[in-house]
Amino acid sequence: MQIEGDPDSPISRGRLCPKGSASEQLVNAPGRQTKVLYRPAYASDWQELELDTAIDMVAERFLEARRNHWQETDEQGRALRRTMGIAGLGGATLDNEENYLIKKLFTAAGAVQLENQARI
């Protein structure tokens, strides 16, 4: 894999920003974590989990938090249809498409507490 800047760009003149130049290492670094590790509550050791198991655990907790903190209406009966039980935080290592999809997922789930590191 090779990442290059656009030499015709009047802004970068072919140079890569630090994010662009480091992006390749996010997926190809030899020391990158490649297995799901989970540490149960009050445990001191990590255990490996299958990816499908970890995804199911996250989905169950996400839906439970949404269900337990769902607000259909306010005190005056006005529609809210939101949850304060989940929040989203996008990061600078994510690309625009990933951040877009995270925003859409959390908005569709009714979350209103959404932020991105790029804006902070």
* Extents of the domains making up the chain: 50-119
Q: Please name the residues in contact with 54: beta carbons below 8 A apart, sequence gap of 6 or more.
A: 36, 38
Please give the pLDDT value at position 15. 81
Percent composition of the chain: helix, strand, coil (DSSP 3-state, to 5): 35, 25, 40
Which residues, listed in sequence order, are joined to residue 73 by a DSSP beta bridge? 79
Residue indicated by tokens 């480091």: 22
- pLDDT of the chain along its 120 residues, tens only? 667 778 888 887 888 777 767 777 777 888 888 899 999 999 999 999 999 999 999 999 999 999 999 999 999 999 999 999 999 988 877 888 888 999 999 999 999 999 988 776
Distance CA 40, CA 47 (A): 8
Measure the CA dihedral 38/41/46/51, to 10°.
-10
